Chains A and B, each alone.
Chain A
Amino acid sequence: MNKVVTAIKSNLKQYSMMLALVFIVIMFQILTGGKLLFPMNVYNIINQNAYIVILAIGMLLCILGSGSIDLSVGSVVGLVGACAGIFIMKWKWDPYLSILMCMGVGILVGVWQGFWIAYVKIPAFIVTLAGMLVFRGATLIILQGGKAIPVFPAEYKQFFVGSTPEFIGVWEVFGMKLYLTCLLLGILIAAVYCVAQLISNQSKKRKGYEYASKGALITRMVIISAIVIWFFMLLAQYKGIPAVLMVLGVIAAVYTFITNKTVLGRHIYAMGGNANAARLSGVNTERLMFFSYVNMGLLAGIAGMVFAARLDSATPMAGDGFELDAIGACFIGGASAYGGIGTVSGTVIGALIMGILNNGMNIIGMDSNLQRLVKGLVLLAAVAFDVMSQGHVALPSFLRFGKNKPEKVASG
């Protein structure tokens, strides 16, 4: 029993964010009279938030590695969108080539900022504050004083907006349309998940590690599979799988893998946890810092392309303020402002919480000024929770309550 309590406590943060997400979904589902989870609205939520999730994943690596943030990503989104407009519409480049070149622009931006931050050692806050101005200025110059370039070709947009093509067909049942590819993909994902769980549990059992009991395993598999299939069911009722969900899925999977399974990821966590110790263990902390900002540039570039495709035009003020949403998503998702703590899945959940808050408040027609206020308070509450749960806190005596630090296990 004691073990269970410890396990719950140690995972409290991740689960608490999950619970917060469920709570917000249910709350707005009731407040909006069920409109929140209309298939069309779910589809919209994904399209509205994909670029924020992509930015937030890049931001997470910066925060993990050093607790530093990148203020320039909004401007980079604008810049890369403008480049996409110029490359494709003005210079008539091939759309596929243009996509690659846009990623290149993002990487160059990252190289520029990473150089100043990692090697010249100017605080990231200052470098990216400067970047915020520089890249917005560059966007306006490229767009010749801020004229938007409208309408992208279908080859470009196919990756970023609309739905993936329907391979199998649409099935009409009980008066509703079901996109079968989407539904099958959902079932496939659930099946792959279950098989992976079974294999991993078997291997744990074989190697003599702690493994889940049959009941717990089945419960977990049923719940997760049900959620996955229900979610794809919703999407299947509208237009099938949003194209950008595929991009997002790949990015989230790749970065989950990097942070969990690779030496690179481990080094980032170690650097964020204690930069001196990491350096004295032979970790090249400068190169790692440089990498996190180059990576941020690349992901900001991808987000820029997604956003331009969604607007279907390259506009001068595209991305304005996105940095705050991305940073907020990381912290709501449980990243530590001190570095070294945070997960990709937490960040995705954080971005979803922000996105559903936005969407839900819009549907119920809340005053937009009040919306900002609510978002600000949610962010503050999330970070306050983080700080307090880590005991970094010196509350005035009248606010102090029982400490929940884990006990020392053994002395000597």
Chain B
Amino acid sequence: MALTILRMENITKLFPGVKALDSVNIDVTEGEIHAIVGENGAGKSTLMNVLSGIYPFGSYTGDVFYHDELCSFKTIKDSERRGIAIIHQELALVPHLSIAENMYLGNERDTAGVINWDLTNQQAAKYMKVVGLKENPRTLIKDIGMGKQQLVEIAKALTKDVKLLILDEPTSSLNESDVKKLLDLLIEFKKEHGITSILISHKLNEIEYCADRITIIRDGKSIETLDKNVDEISEPRIIKGMVGREMTNRFPERQRVTGGGVAFEVKNWTVYHPLYGDKKVVDDVSLTIRHGEVVGVAGLIGAGRTELAMSVFGKSYGQKITGTILIDGEPVRLSNISQAIQHGLAYVTEDRKGNGLVTSNSIKHNVTLSRMEFVSKRGIIDQDLEGIRAREQKEQLDIKALSVEQHVENLSGGNQQKVLLGKWIFAKPDILLLDEPTRGVDVGAKYEIYQIINQLSAEGKAVLMISSELPELLGMCDRIYVMNESKLIAEFSREEVSQEAIMGCILQASKGGEISA
């Protein structure tokens, strides 16, 4: 009888306005590879952050038992000390330090603060051999590829005498042969060293290949755990678990406007990464939006959806951008953001604090920022008019605040999101690019935002809606495009679309080739 290494019971984690985890239960047997699957935002990463102490003990409710002992990790150091190591989706390596320096960062081989470099490099080489990394430990991280960097992360975990290894989407930036190497390594760890792994992944073929058990998480709840030896594990079976939720009245009814002319068209749009000039982030994408239409873009994180929207919006992302944009059939040049705004575009960012709002300023100042010319003459602001316009948005969108003078940083997530929408509605756009318009917003505010979107489309505006929540796209959109790995891979009409169809199509495309066992 195998031992249970980890048991998480009734884990609930609240963020302001959102329940990210809702009584999640999971148990992991010693020496297995346990996969966790779920849609974007289902709560997988949050759960792992609870486990590793990034969200400290006390900031969540529920119990974590590790080796049958109740844990109260306050920091990531506490969990590392117990042999739990987490490797994040975005690698946390310092590019200008060597492999060995990175492996021992925060855990230096030192005597009284003086580092023993010979010992460091020697021990690093030992662990690098275990993970099959053939490099000099003195090589700088920036000089090795992504696959090898991933191995450095794992080797780093090994230096801490890891018992439980957590990998958060480890293969998302690897090519096929590196993926296979990595998965084989996990299997080898299991067999040779008895190391338990938790693997978070979207790629179901990889999970089929190496996982012993699979826990499915949906909407912050643990749905079920499948066992390789008991249940039949297949992609359709997993997908059903991932998306099978009920949808009643989550979306307001909308008068569908049909037969509107094409308001916005993008043809053969290609964008390269702003730093890595040979990496395409948007690859030959063409799409259209009609007046009064809400068009969705589905896809995994990193599929290129945000990059597409931002590059269209006055080339605010990427380089070497090629392609044509037509507004009402006329080709236009949108070479900077101000031109894009003048042509009636609005981009509502997915990152409202980072890219959307000046949180230290008032609601009023945020609302008018993108079209100051509406409330000013010859560069001088008419502050009374500005106040009136801002109050109009506040009332229309039902922003809950004392007054428009209130600073945005003191509002809740949902109200901040409404300020962001109000800011762009104020700009009188004809084409709205909404990037995750309901991220980090509770159910009630979501409904109100859907109503706002419906109102906009009823006014004949063209809406492009990027979302990682498939039910939201299904509930709101007239048509849905699917993006994967920089390309548009499918288009579904409202009638033919289903969550299974979209997920299946993404998984089909990202499979690339079958992994041979």
Contacts and interface: CB of A to CB of B under 8 A. Distances in A.
Interface of A: 207, 209, 261-264, 266-267, 269-270, 273-274, 276-284, 340-341, 406-412
Interface of B: 16-17, 313-314, 316, 336-338, 340-341, 347, 349, 354-361, 365, 369-370, 372-373, 376, 379-381, 383-384, 387, 400-402, 406, 410-412, 414-415, 423, 442, 444-445
Contacts of A341: 360
B341 A282 contact: yes
Contact of B400 (A274, A277, A281, A410): A410
Contact of A264 (B356, B379, B383): B379
Contacts of A279: 316, 337
A207 B384 CA distance: 9
Contacts of A264: 379
Contacts of B423: 281
B380 A273 contact: no
A261 B414 contact: no
B311 to A, nearest CB: 13
A273 B379 contact: no
A386 B270 CA distance: 46
Contact of B415 (A269, A276, A281, A412): A412
20 contacts: A262-B379, A263-B372, A266-B365, A273-B361, A274-B360, A276-B355, A277-B357, A277-B358, A277-B369, A282-B337, A284-B338, A407-B410, A408-B16, A409-B402, A409-B406, A409-B411, A411-B16, A411-B400, A412-B400, A412-B412
Contacts of B370: 281-282
B411 A266 contact: no
A278 B369 contact: yes
Contacts of B355: 274, 276-277, 280
Given A408-B16, A412-B415, 10 more contacts: A266-B365, A269-B361, A280-B355, A281-B369, A282-B336, A340-B360, A409-B402, A409-B412, A410-B411, A411-B412
A409 B406 CA distance: 10
Contacts of A283: 369
A262 B316 CA distance: 26
Contacts of B341: 281-282
A269 B380 contact: no
A208 to B, nearest CB: 11
A411 B376 contact: no
A72 to B, nearest CB: 28
A280 B315 CA distance: 10
Contacts of B379: 262-264
A267 to B, nearest CB: 8
A280 B347 contact: yes
A264 B372 CA distance: 10
A411 B349 CA distance: 21
Given A263-B376, A280-B355, A412-B442, A270 B369 contact: yes
Contacts of B381: 261-263, 266
A218 to B, nearest CB: 24
A341 B316 CA distance: 26
Contacts of A270: 358, 361, 365, 369
A273 B17 CA distance: 25
Given A263-B381, A283-B369, A341-B360, A410 B412 contact: yes
Given A266-B369, A280-B337, A412-B442, A273 B360 contact: yes
A261 B383 contact: yes
Contact of A340 (B17, B358, B414): B358
Nearest to B337: A282
Most chain B CB neighbours (cut-off 10 Å) among A209, A267, A409: A409
A407 to B, nearest CB: 8
Given A261-B381, A412-B414, A269 B365 contact: yes
A412 B17 contact: yes
A273 B366 CA distance: 11
A173 B357 CA distance: 60
B368 to A, nearest CB: 8
A410 B411 CA distance: 7
Contact of A412 (B316, B410, B444): B444
Nearest to A269: B361
Contacts of B314: 282
A273 B357 CA distance: 9
Nearest to B382: A261
A165 B14 CA distance: 70
B398 to A, nearest CB: 9
Nearest to B376: A263
B400 A408 contact: no
A370 B336 CA distance: 54
A280 B349 contact: yes
Contacts of A207: 384
Contacts of B359: 273-274
Contact of B358 (A262, A274, A409, A410): A274
Nearest to B420: A277
A209 B403 CA distance: 11
A410 B369 contact: no
A266 B367 CA distance: 12
Given A274-B359, A277-B356, A280-B356, A410 B365 contact: no
Contacts of B357: 274, 277
B19 to A, nearest CB: 13
A282 B412 contact: no
Task: Count chain B CB atoms within 10 A of each CB in A406, A407, A412 and give the residue with the most.
Answer: A412
A412 B316 CA distance: 31
Nearest to A391: B409
Contacts of A277: 354-358, 369
B358 to A, nearest CB: 4
Q: Which residue of A207, A262, A341 has the most chain B CB atoms within 10 A of its CB atom?
A: A262
A95 B383 CA distance: 41
Nearest to A204: B384
Q: Which 4 A-B pairs have the closest CB atoms?
A: A410-B400, A273-B358, A281-B370, A282-B338
Contact of A261 (B17, B354, B380, B412): B380
B414 A411 contact: yes
A408 B356 contact: no
Contacts of A410: 400-401, 411-412, 415
B13 to A, nearest CB: 17
A370 B181 CA distance: 67
Contacts of A209: 387
A410 B423 CA distance: 19
A207 B406 CA distance: 20
A283 B371 CA distance: 10
A269 B369 CA distance: 11
Nearest to B403: A210
Residue of B316, B347, B355, B357 ringed by the most chain A CB atoms within 10 A: B355
Given A207-B384, A276-B354, A278-B369, A412 B445 contact: yes
A209 B404 CA distance: 12
B372 A266 contact: yes
Contacts of B380: 261-263
A263 B377 CA distance: 9
A409 B401 contact: yes
A393 B355 CA distance: 23
Interface-centre pick from B357, B358, B412 (highest chain A CB count, 10 A): B358
- Report which residue of A274, A282, A408 has the largest number of chain B beta carbons within 10 angstroms of its beta carbon: A282
Nearest to B387: A209
A78 B338 CA distance: 40
Contacts of A412: 17, 400, 412, 414-415, 442, 444-445
Contacts of B17: 411-412
Contacts of B401: 409-410
Contacts of A278: 358, 369
Nearest to B355: A276
A261 B415 CA distance: 27
A280 B406 CA distance: 22
Nearest to B407: A406
